[in-house]
Amino acid sequence: MNNLSVPVLRRKKFKDLERRFVAAMILDTAFLGGATPQVKPEHFSTPEAKTVVRLCLEHYARYKVAPGPDIQQIFEDYVLTGAAITADKELVNIYLTLLSQDYGDMEINNFLIDQAKRFFGERHWQNHKEEVELLRSTGRVEEALESAASYQPLTWGGEGKAPTLEKALNDPTLGLVVSGQDFLNIPMEPLRPILEPWLFEADTVLISGAAGVGKSYLSLAMAKIAAGGGWGMDGHWFCDNPCKVLFVDGEMHPYRLQGRIKLAGLGERFTPISKLWLGQAGVPLNFMDAKTRGQLTDYIVKNGFKVVILDNIFSLFENLDMQSDKDWSAPNSWLMELRGHGVVVVLLHHTNKKLDQYGTVTKLFNITTALTLNDAKKPGEEDATFTIRVSKGREKGLNLEGKTYRLTDGLWQVEESDTAKEEKILAMVAMGLVAGKKQIVIAEEVGKDRSWVSRLKDKLLNQEYLVEQDGLFTPTSKGESLIDQWDFGI
């Protein structure tokens, strides 16, 4: 499989949430009228959505009603003016067809309006945030504050208060507690991959290891790929959605932290917070304090951080009894709150004498992925060298084990074990057979002869990775697990 094809296949051509908002603007005059003060075409992610939104806004400005199904004719008239090229016309026609599928049973309720307020408000602010930051960074603080106030997200008739639990339980129009079918109809954005193949939005990751094994080095490498996008970790991890990363360090001297950041090549979209640096100014940082957690949550959400790395539990959660289930309850609730915001949280932690994460196992209950780093340094090596053991992960393989990760002079090398290499080749042959490729083609792809591929085919059948019927190969559950483990980066 081509490396570049995986992220492309995972992209959605049309955003479901945006599509419902555009459909609402087409259908509902009140919705469109409420949206008009704050919505701009550039708030939307695709050219076709921007075109339809522009037509809706122009139609409302002229006639004070939503265009309704007449949007198709309005667009045709728009095309006749020569404002849309042929390619645009084809895309918009496809888009309008998709939108028409939402017309029949679509309900413009308070829940949809609330979603739209958050959606448009965020984009309204983000479109002008750089301008505000530029004013502030050049010393024009008063102008920055005035500008920020004028750009704060507008809403339909004010923010209002969050509903009570009683209202959420008894008012189905809110869309908070509804039937299973209605819940399935709520438009939600899919969780995007952050580091393919193993890290996604809203994941909570625990990385444990002995002191000096390389936990900080690894987390900064993750930050570099997530913030910069593209390939990293010697071509094994890929980020298709670069995002803002917050790194909170609890024990390193600020000067040494600077060195680590320089070594990792971090800069844009990366923000470090040093507990020791804050401490020099008399600012405490202890995540066992509820007020501190609340302030950090506000900072994370307001500034749009999607990845938060906490290095480490022992230094940032002061006076936490590592063996106490009760003590971990409040930090765990905080992690779940951040998950609700779609934020990835990476916790760095120490291991015990048995090389398991230190302390109560309740830390693992709500963790998405738990990794343990095992030291693999050779004599004379100074930087990080380790293997990874996955002690908790999704039902599908994360493709992290069976490798040695080595950092030398700021560059990562990933070496696969002989066993992992053999398993990877076996998976490649399995994928080729399932895809209906001829053995001679598979042989060329893996760089082996045809007889070698034939032997592996027999192995896949004999060990029940695949079943064959009428010349067609189908993976068993065992075979699916093998393919899932290796279907990235091959």
Whether residue 154 lies inside any domain: the answer is yes
The residues of the chain scoring below 50 in pLDDT are 1-14, 87, 151-160, 395, 488-490
> From the CB of residue 208, how many other CB atoms can be counted at a distance below 10 Å?
26
Distance CA 443, CA 109 (A): 57
Q: Residue 397: what pLDDT? A: 56
Q: Residue 150: what pLDDT? A: 52
Whether residue 5 lies inside any domain: the answer is no
Instruction: Kindly state the tokens that stand for 148.
Output: 């920020």
Whether residue 24 lies inside any domain: the answer is yes
- Write out pLDDT tens, residues 354-411: 888 888 888 888 899 999 999 988 877 777 899 998 888 764 557 788 889 999 888 9
Whether residue 2 lies inside any domain: the answer is no
Give φ, ψ of 77 to 5 degrees.
-65, -35
HSE, CB side, 13 Å, CA atoms: give it for residue 408.
10
Give φ, ψ of 209 to 5 degrees.
180, 160
Q: Residue 129: what pLDDT? A: 60
Do 440 and 390 share a structural domain? no
Looking up residue 451, the CATH number of its domain turns out to be 1.10.10.10
Whether residue 3 lies inside any domain: the answer is no
Q: Write out the residue range of the structural domain in which residue 448 sits.
A: 420-486
Sequence-distant (6+) residues with CB within 8 A of 383 are 214, 217, 406, 407, 408, 409
Do 224 and 117 share a structural domain? no
> Does residue 343 contact residue 308 with C-beta atoms inside 8 Å?
yes
Burial 260-297 (b: 16+ CB within 10 A, else e): bbebbebeebbbbbbbbbeeeeeeebbbeeeeebeebb
Instruction: Kindly state the tokens that stand for 404.
Output: 């040695």
Instruction: Kindly state the tokens that stand for 186.
Output: 């709520």
> Does residue 269 contact residue 244 with C-beta atoms inside 8 Å?
yes
Q: Residue 490: what pLDDT? A: 35
Distance CA 424, CA 439 (A): 17
* Domain final residue pick, 416, 441, 468: 416
Do 383 and 317 share a structural domain? yes
Q: Residue 82: what pLDDT? A: 67
Do 308 and 270 share a structural domain? yes
Query: Based on the structure, what is the number of domains in the chain?
Result: 3
* E strands present in 93-154: none
Helix (H, G, I), strand (E, B) or coil at 330: helix
Q: Residue 46: what pLDDT? A: 79
Distance CA 251, CA 63 (A): 62
Burial 332-365 (b: 16+ CB within 10 A, else e): bebbeebbeeebbbbbbbbbeeeeebbbbeebee
* Domain final residue pick, 356, 391, 416: 416
Do 293 and 180 share a structural domain? no
Do 306 and 268 share a structural domain? yes
Distance CA 116, CA 163 (A): 17
**Largest Cα–Cα separation, the chain:** 78
Do 431 and 411 share a structural domain? no
Helix (H, G, I), strand (E, B) or coil at 51: helix
> Does residue 17 contact residue 56 with C-beta atoms inside 8 Å?
no
Length of the chain counted residue by residue: 490
Instruction: List the one residue out of 251, 306, 299 whose CA is nearest residue 278.
Output: 251
Do 63 and 31 share a structural domain? yes
> How many helices, marked H, and strands, marked E, lie in the chain?
20, 15
Instruction: List the one residue out of 275, 383, 297 whose CA is nearest residue 341.
Output: 297
Task: State the Cα torsion 204-8-242-15 to the nearest 10°.
Answer: -80
* Domain final residue pick, 382, 416, 450: 416
Do 159 and 223 share a structural domain? no
Distances (CA, A) of 255 to 233, 258, 411: 25, 5, 21
Do 111 and 95 share a structural domain? yes
Do 245 and 383 share a structural domain? yes
Distances (CA, A) of 176 to 47, 108, 163: 32, 15, 10
Whether residue 237 lies inside any domain: the answer is yes
Looking up residue 396, the CATH number of its domain turns out to be 3.40.50.300
Do 140 and 24 share a structural domain? yes
